[in-house]
Structures are given as C-alpha cells and as structure tokens.
Amino acid sequence: MVTHSKGYRTRTRKLLTKDVRERGGVPRLSLLMEEFKEGDYVVIKINPSIHKGMPHRRYHGKVGIVQGKRGKAYIVKVNLGDKEKIIIVRPEHLVRFNGIKSG
C-alpha cells in the first residue's frame, strides 16, 4: 500500500488551476511591475503558473497588510484564525484590495 503524499501543493487540483483561456503564454508584465506601499491591503491570489515566491494554499484568498519589502518580494501580515502570520510573497501572487475592510 502506498502512503498519501503530503507535498507543498497537495489537494490543490481545483484551487491552483487556471481557466482554459488564461492558460499558456507569458504572464502579463503588469503583474510583475505592481508596486505596493507599506500599509496597503492586498489579497493573496496565487498564480499557479509562477512557482517562485508562491505562498501556501491556506493563504489563498486571504486579505493581508503589506509590512515591508524583502528583495523583489513583500512581507505580508495575515490573520489566520486567532493568529497573526507573517509571510513573504512575490507581487505576482498579490492583488490590490479595493473593498471595505471590516473587523
């Protein structure tokens, strides 16, 4: 009997897939050029075609606050349950949050 794999991308078949029309090709340059300032609210939206700087799947869809920058990546503070987590994410996996933050 083979044991279940517990890799970094387990159970992400639907979560980390793109629509058919989004697949292939080079990612938009605007994804890489996006600049965030300290204190900006961002949504972590994992881009599955770019593996570098990809956060864990548990952070997909979470809203965080940019704390600073480390190289090309950003330091983002995310509330996960009753804990605050600090994660390092590249800008390809971040989207500016334009909604109203409640709570």
Q: Which CATH number fits the domain that encloses residue 67?
A: 2.30.30.70
Q: Indicate the DSSP class of residue 3.
A: P
Amino acid, res. 88 = I
Domain span holding position 50: 35-96
Model's pTM, two decimal places? 0.85
50 occurs within a structural domain: yes
Q: Give me 85's structure tokens.
A: 């987590």
Enter the tokens of residue 75. 């330091």
Number of folded domains that form the chain: 1
Task: Indicate whether 54 belongs to any domain.
Answer: yes
Rg (CA), the chain: 15
Domain presence at residue 49: yes
Q: 32: pLDDT confidence band, cut at 50, 70 and 90?
A: confident
- 3-state SS, 59-94, equals HCCCEEEEEEEECCEEEEEEEECCEEEEEEECHHHE
Q: State pLDDT tens for residues 45-99.
A: 999 888 888 999 999 999 999 999 999 999 999 999 999 999 999 999 999 998 7
DSSP category for residue 56: P
